[in-house]
Chain A
């Protein structure tokens, strides 16, 4: 279940591109980190993000899933501009981020991020309302108004301002701190909120409350979410579409229900089958993933998943499978799903009738 992609209720002057324009469009994003090798070693790079493309439509929630080290957090940080990207094009509502039409400061006022570690995200020396009011004040809102806005946001996320506004982060629980982080993200009235494992560190019951809060806020403020997580259950609950990442590349992207119920990529299937089931009869007999965990410094040639893939064949070592559509809204990077790829399981090219 998820909210339908609807008409966002933003004032017309903020929505520059119209409803059909994706809010965020990423093309060919690449980021490599150099690894220090001593004298006489080859210079090596960690290929953290190696050619990522996707779009986020206005009003939707896009999830990105993958195991640790697949590059999802790095992608988030590249989008937010916390580090420069090596190559690739980033467009926000049709405009180049950091270009003349959309300088960084303006972009920053429209996109915000909630981090995983709720304690490290808050300045231990600032009060909760001070932290929330910091963003608006940077953009010229007078102090009194900024504090007012901070207080009303605190109330909106379920923290009573009279009790919580003057507190310090160490006096709050994890769930309370994450609510503060959400309030802070909303203080600048953004259109896109990136949630980087925002609920991963919370206890389950608290996680449920925060997720429901996020859904309500999205409705109320007409937000678009990029939700990064390794928890497939949460992604299924919250997201409209989901992208699966492996070793710095997107291997599958499509509607959440489809991808998580009938995955097209063997890696997605393996991820799903390694989730423990509540049903005692549904036991996992065979380990879903074989082989060694991948090394981002020296990825395998061709399809990066082929050493661990049950469907792997010779052709998989030679070619990098492109992210090709299985149907209009669902794309997969797997030679076994692409007609004419040379893989034995690939569907035959259908002749237009």
Chain B
């Protein structure tokens, strides 16, 4: 049995000194992916998210190409051929209350619906991130001022705020986008501020400050890359809400004006038709639902893929 010298004088370490070569890490020879590479890798293996992504791409493609690929003229109506049922010989998905082809109007309507649904989120992402990241990184009184102002807008339920702003500004695509952007900016700013505050207190940001870098450089090189990811995921989860709200505004007559096709507007004008041809009347809402649920499922998949294991 080895005698144990009293610890007070024992040499603590008798490992051979120097930088010994280290044992192999288990994945020593796998190519290293970047963060987004990893996310994409995981995402591609998620069947639900991938299906949702395909649906979204298909709908976007149809919407973009709509002016050229609609089977019939979306604006041309015919009073005798009103409210034809789905599966009709001429009108594949039936015709609306003014005799216009539903399929063509749905395809073209997708353009506007997607536009007024997605644009506010993009705008809010840019503006909200700017405000939130600034408030989160700088902290102090600027943070307090910005966040308290945001809190005032948070005091309104989003639907109410959207409608109030729309109601005040008046109908129209531009006004809808403005009011929806105003609704989403506070939400994104809050998430951005929260994430930035967390990241800011991480040691590697301190290490970056210790290297003498300017605030702007640190933000650009070290902080932004880590912060935009979670904000982006949150923003994608807002798209479905935005689409429902945007079409909802048109449903109330506050958004797109007739005769432009837009799903929410179409749903409104077809309301009286529910007793005559319920299936056709429900079609535009079904379209909104499909897009909305696809965006939600994709956003959920994206969030799961972004959970990095340390």
Interface string of B1-19 (1 = CB under 8 A from A): 0001011101111010111
Interface string of A119-157 (1 = CB under 8 A from B): 111111111000100110011000000000000000011
Is A156 within 8 A of B32, CB to CB? no
What residues of A have a CB within 8 angstroms of the CB of B203 in the complex?
115, 117, 120-121
User: Looking at chain A, what size class is its interface with the partner chain?
Assistant: 35 or more
What residues of B have a CB within 8 angstroms of the CB of A215 in the complex?
17
What residues of B have a CB within 8 angstroms of the CB of A170 in the complex?
308-310
What residues of B have a CB within 8 angstroms of the CB of A171 in the complex?
25, 27, 32
Q: Give the one of B15, B210, B212, B226 with max A CB within 10 A.
A: B210
Interface string of B288-310 (1 = CB under 8 A from A): 00000000000000000000111
Is A216 within 8 A of B204, CB to CB? no
From B63-71, B189-197, B217-225, B252-260, give the one contacting chain A: B217-225
Is A125 within 8 A of B7, CB to CB? no
Instruction: Quote the shortest CB–CB distance from B257 to chain A (angstroms).
Output: 46
From A5-13, A32-40, A161-169, A305-313, give the one contacting chain B: A161-169
Instruction: Quote the shortest CB–CB distance from A180 to chain B (angstroms).
Output: 11
- B160 at the binding interface (Cβ < 8 Å): no
- C-alpha gap A260/B212 in the complex (Å): 37
Is A277 within 8 A of B13, CB to CB? no
Is A138 within 8 A of B211, CB to CB? yes
- B21 at the binding interface (Cβ < 8 Å): yes
- B156 at the binding interface (Cβ < 8 Å): no
Is B8 within 8 A of A138, CB to CB? no
Is A208 within 8 A of B212, CB to CB? no
Q: Which residues of B from 1 to 54 have beta carbons under 8 Å from A? A: 4, 6-8, 10-13, 15, 17-22, 25, 27-28, 32, 34-35
Nearest chain-A residue to B214 (Cβ)? A138
- A299 at the binding interface (Cβ < 8 Å): no
- C-alpha gap A86/B284 in the complex (Å): 65
Is B212 within 8 A of A109, CB to CB? yes
Given A117-B203, A134-B221, A278-B10, A166 and B213 touching (CB < 8 A)? no
Nearest chain-A residue to B204 (Cβ)? A123
Is B310 within 8 A of A123, CB to CB? no
- B208 at the binding interface (Cβ < 8 Å): yes
Pick from B4, B7, B202, B210: contact of A275, CB below 8 A.
Answer: B7
What residues of A have a CB within 8 angstroms of the CB of B271 in the complex?
none
- B207 at the binding interface (Cβ < 8 Å): yes
- B148 at the binding interface (Cβ < 8 Å): no
Nearest chain-B residue to A104 (Cβ)? B212
Is A134 within 8 A of B213, CB to CB? yes
- C-alpha gap A8/B25 in the complex (Å): 37
Instruction: Quote the shortest CB–CB distance from A181 to chain B (angstroms).
Output: 8
From A230-238, A247-255, A289-297, give the one contacting chain B: A230-238
Beyond the given A112-B210, A125-B226, A184-B207, please list 4 additional residue pairs across the A-B interface where CB-CB is below 8 A.
A80-B210, A134-B208, A167-B32, A211-B13
- Give 22 pairs: A residue, B residue, CB < 8 Å, sorted on A: A82-B209, A115-B207, A121-B203, A123-B222, A123-B225, A125-B35, A126-B222, A135-B212, A138-B213, A138-B217, A139-B212, A168-B35, A176-B25, A208-B13, A208-B15, A212-B15, A212-B19, A260-B8, A277-B6, A278-B7, A278-B10, A279-B6
Q: Closest 5 CB pairs between A and B?
A: A158-B19, A135-B211, A108-B212, A121-B203, A208-B13
